[in-house]
Amino acid sequence: MADTYNDGGMVINPQPVTINEVIYIIESIDVTTPTTVVESLDEDGLPNKQYLAKGFTTGSATLQLASSETALPPLLGSFTVTLVGGGSLTFIISEVGQTWATNTETKVNIGIRLRINTPPGD
């Protein structure tokens, strides 16, 4: 039996990404897409209708830096991850945390949002 299971094609293995010409290793990534729900009740207060719309895809990731001297990824920078099984997604950095170290590795947590449009010139 396999030691891993991938259900949905999300990134599960560390992979290098380039942000502003600096290479980082994505150690983990967690992404969710919520829905907005509008509900309607009848005259007796019972549910009779609903409308669901896909929301914005957001999440967080942990990046490993090459060293404690490596520049932090810039706010509003973007990077592309390769999905298991093919395809890719591009994210925009919406938050940058403080660096922290474990043994000989320096890491930083970032907040991310899925890019929904391609900027002119990209």
pTM over 0.75? The answer is yes
The residue type found at 72 is: L
Mean pLDDT score, 102-111: 91
pLDDT higher for 9 or 81?
A: 81
pLDDT 10s digits, 31-54: 999 998 999 999 999 999 999 999
Answer yes or no: is pLDDT of 24 > 70: yes
- Per-residue buried b or exposed e for 26-63, using 16+ beta carbons within 10 Å of the residue's own CB: beebebeeeeeeeeeeeeeeeeeeeeeeeeebbbbbbb
Looking at every residue in the chain, the average pLDDT score rounds to: 87
Query: Residue 7, class by beta-carbon neighbours within 10 Å (0-12 exposed, 13-18 middle, 19+ buried)?
Result: exposed
* pLDDT at residue 11, as a whole number: 46
* pLDDT at residue 122, as a whole number: 64
Dihedrals phi, psi of 97, to nearest 5 degrees: -85, -175
* pLDDT at residue 95, as a whole number: 98
pLDDT 10s digits, 77-105: 999 998 777 788 999 999 999 999 888 88
The residue type found at 90 is: T
